[in-house]
Amino acid sequence: MSANSLDLASLLCSRLCHDLLSPVGALSNGLELLADEKDPEMRKRCMELLEQSAKTSADKLKFFRLAFGAAGGFGESVPVSEARALVDALVGNNGRVSVNWMFGIDSLAKPAVKTLLNLALIGLDALVRGGTLDIGVEVRDNVAEIVVRAAGQRVAFDPAIGQALEGTLPSAEMSSRTAPAAMVQQLAASVGGAVQVHITAESLVLGAVLPVA
């Protein structure tokens, strides 16, 4: 593993820890409250919060396992329904975002699925005030075309993430926030594909074209 690969892996781990800190912290706090609470109604409320935090933690771990991890290697195909379930769970934990899917295929090669998941994550992060996340996948002439469109009242998109997606961000400026975008760019380049970014005041469109075997 090269130094750059080690740096990217470290930053992805930092991103994973950052995203899990809130629900895991809520679990810890809930357990402390439950240990001291005697009122039945408050104990019931604590249990509901614990269940919610546990579900959020599990959903994020399942998502990141496939989005960031090897999860069995890169040669396998993955059912699109599995990727959809992971994104739907992540969006469901947000509560302010609705997701629409458009695809006519049953499975995708793992590099394409990882690209889809990470683009969906970037789109979801941009919807700071909620909105809609449209995800489309199509395979034509052995080429997978992936499009993610995030639209809402306010789309917050760090230009550094766009640079990372396009492969123009200096390595010295890499951070845990841009690491998923950098991974997508490297993954697309490794299979002869490309990533595109288009941003307006009300929408963010992310696209990837990946050759498939």
Q: What is the pLDDT of residues 167-194, one digit of tens each?
A: 999 988 999 999 999 999 999 999 899 9
What CATH number does residue 47 fall under?
3.30.565.10
Residue 93 pLDDT exceeds 60 = yes
Supply the pLDDT for residue 25: 82
Give residue-wise pLDDT tens across range 2-26.
Answer: 447 788 889 999 998 888 888 888 8
Section 80-109 average pLDDT = 90
Under 8 Å between Cβ of 208 and 188? yes
Name the band, by pLDDT with cuts 50, 70 and 90, for residue 52.
confident
Q: Which segment of 47-51, 69-73, 109-113 scores lowest on mean pLDDT? A: 69-73
Number of domains observed in the structure of the chain: 1
Domain carrying residue 20: 3-211
